[in-house]
Amino acid sequence: MAYDWLKGIEEHYDIVVIGSGLGGLTSANVLAKCGHKVLLLEHHYQLGGLATWFTRKGGHIFDISLHGFPIGMIKSIRKYWSQDIAQSIVQLKGVRFINPQFSMDTTFDREDFTRQLVEKFKVPAETVERFFTDLRGMNFYDNNPETTGQMFERYFPGRPDVQRLLMEPIAYANGSTLADPAITFGIVFSNFMSKGVYTFQGGSDVLIRKMTAELKQNGVEIRKHVTVEKILTTAEGGTKQVVGVVANGRTIRCRAVLSNANIKNTVLRLAGEENFTPEFVAAAKAVRVNSSSCQVYLGIRKGETLPHIGDLVFTSDEPTFSSEKLVDLHTTSRTFSMYYPDTRPGLDRYTVVVSINARYEDWNNLSPEGYATEKKRLIDESITALERYIPDVRAKIDWQEAATPRTIEYYTRHWAGTSFGTKFEGLKISMDLPAQLRGLYHAGSVGIIMSGWLGTINYGVIVSNQIDKFLVAMKRAPQALTTVA
């Protein structure tokens, strides 16, 4: 008989958290600190969702999504995790752009962008100032239909170079395009422009290990290798309500469920259409997921070194920026995340992670041979591209490997292998979920603005507040419980 990964768990929890992405982890921690009994379930053998890493022969540790986050992480990590974890957050100062329109080194903050936009791109200082200030003032509740592309045309008409500088890094950060609502660009770009790009020194493995220790200390029951198959509901008492989950074939009862799965997985697979109104199901089905990513992992042989060519290097041979070309199977646009020994002090190792935006459909429809061939091409092209900046790099690489949207689907179970959650409309479905099915909540990469490390952590807290309110009210009225228990 297979090992029972749920051995020893209790019959009933206040809240079951499905999935251990940064949103799920943070929610679990916040709710445990509020005094609730939390069970965290992860299907994979490792916590972290896309905030993850893997090790390979030769002593390589590859980080999947450590590349860079806004300074707001320091505050959020300190408040919702610990001062100790927050202390390891350090700035990455070498952000670099290399494309046919311009080459530029920047610290990726408002001050430096303003200087370069004025001096290098000859944009009037007054326009730059107005752009930044207006962006900061954008409000989620304004319901402004303007797209990012239209907004760029308003401030920087006839300046595809400026538009590329503004859009390209954000497209890699959250999969958004020029056709998405301007608010999605405004919020994410403003977060970065505040003080630049940051990373976690020690690597994703240390971060997740410290978070896991914190969760255990706060009493969260954590189980890996556990797949939630179904969210259980009852309609007794007239209102449809969550009563538990089925995981690895076993029923676990609970007062509420927080799904850190993709929102479409949550509504259409885990809960199921039968639990919602037809209108809500139609709206959930209509939610578009964002594009996905490929990555190429290059491990540098022990003892070899690389010159410092920047921390995040945005490169492309495309003559101008195009959201379509960026996700094309044969795109020449790549971001090199350069991991120098500073990433993991003491190890003295170098790795390169190449990120390439991609469409799931392009990769999912390949034959097994075609898939292998395309992966090999992706690796070869990435190394050739890197040779332009580090001519002798090929001989220093002793591990090379590629991941595709299919890899992401396999490890995260995200709908259509998305690496960036959903388009803007997904946020409304996520937020309306508890009104549709009492006790069911969602937090995870959704709506573009609630994505990335900072976005998902903060969204996890926003939703935790609602869950805490719900659980506190439920515990105060125990008779309401007996009707559903």
Partner 1 sequence: MTKEDCQKLVIDIIADIAPDEDLSAIKPEIRLRDQLQLDSMDFLDIVMELRKRHGIEVPEADYSHLASLESCAEYLTPKFPTKA
Residues that bind partner 1 (CB under 8 A): 30, 34-35, 75-76, 79, 458, 461-462, 464-465, 468-469, 472-473
Is the separation of the CB atoms in 104 and 96 below 8 Å?
Answer: yes
Q: In angstroms, give the least distance from the CB of 462 to partner 1.
A: 6
Q: Which is nearer to partner 1, 60 or 255 (CB)?
A: 255
- Determine how β-strand 312-315 pairs with β-strand 292-300: unpaired
d(CA 257, CA 439): 6
Distances (CA, A) of 74 to 26, 61, 70: 14, 24, 9
Q: Which is nearer to partner 1, 184 or 290 (CB)?
A: 184
Enumerate residues 6+ apart whose C-beta is below 8 A from 23. 49, 260, 443, 444, 445, 456, 457, 459, 460, 463
Q: In angstroms, give the least distance from the CB of 138 to partner 1.
A: 13
Q: What is the DSSP letter of 170?
A: H
Q: Which is nearer to partner 1, 308 or 469 (CB)?
A: 469
Q: In angstroms, give the least distance from the CB of 141 to partner 1.
A: 11
Q: Which is nearer to partner 1, 286 or 462 (CB)?
A: 462
Q: What DSSP assignment string belongs to 87-147?
A: TTEEEE--EEEESSS-EEEE--SHHHHHHHHHHTS---HHHHHHHHHHHHT--GGG----B
Q: In angstroms, give the least distance from the CB of 458 to partner 1.
A: 6
Q: Which is nearer to partner 1, 34 or 271 (CB)?
A: 34
Is the separation of the CB atoms in 13 and 471 below 8 Å?
Answer: no
Q: Which is nearer to partner 1, 179 or 473 (CB)?
A: 473
Distances (CA, A) of 182 to 296, 348, 357, 426: 31, 42, 20, 16
Is the separation of the CB atoms in 462 and 444 below 8 Å?
Answer: no
**Residue 7 backbone phi and psi in degrees, to 5:** -55, 130
Q: Which is nearer to partner 1, 462 or 485 (CB)?
A: 462
Q: In angstroms, give the least distance from the CB of 109 to partner 1.
A: 17
Write out the two tokens for 91. 């700035």
Q: In angstroms, give the least distance from the CB of 175 to partner 1.
A: 23
Residues pairing with 256 in the sheet:
15
Q: In angstroms, give the least distance from the CB of 215 to partner 1.
A: 18
Cα dihedral 141, 147, 148, 151, rounded to 10, equals: -90
Q: In angstroms, give the least distance from the CB of 76 to partner 1.
A: 7
Distances (CA, A) of 398 to 300, 352, 394, 418: 6, 12, 9, 29
Q: Which is nearer to partner 1, 235 or 462 (CB)?
A: 462
Q: In angstroms, give the least distance from the CB of 85 to partner 1.
A: 15
Burial 372-411 (b: 16+ CB within 10 A, else e): eebbeebbebbbebbeebbeebeebbbbbbbbbbbbbbeb
Q: Which is nearer to partner 1, 34 or 408 (CB)?
A: 34
Q: Which of 330, 465, 436, 446 is nearest to 19 (CA)?
A: 446
Q: In angstroms, give the least distance from the CB of 369 to partner 1.
A: 49
Is the separation of the CB atoms in 95 and 311 below 8 Å?
Answer: yes
Rg (CA), the chain: 23
Q: In angstroms, give the least distance from the CB of 1 to partner 1.
A: 43
Distances (CA, A) of 51 to 72, 452, 453: 17, 9, 8
Q: In angstroms, give the least distance from the CB of 66 to partner 1.
A: 22
Q: Which is nearer to partner 1, 88 or 234 (CB)?
A: 88
Q: Which is nearer to partner 1, 73 or 245 (CB)?
A: 73
Q: Which is nearer to partner 1, 117 or 461 (CB)?
A: 461
Q: What is the DSSP letter of 65?
A: S
d(CA 149, CA 28): 38
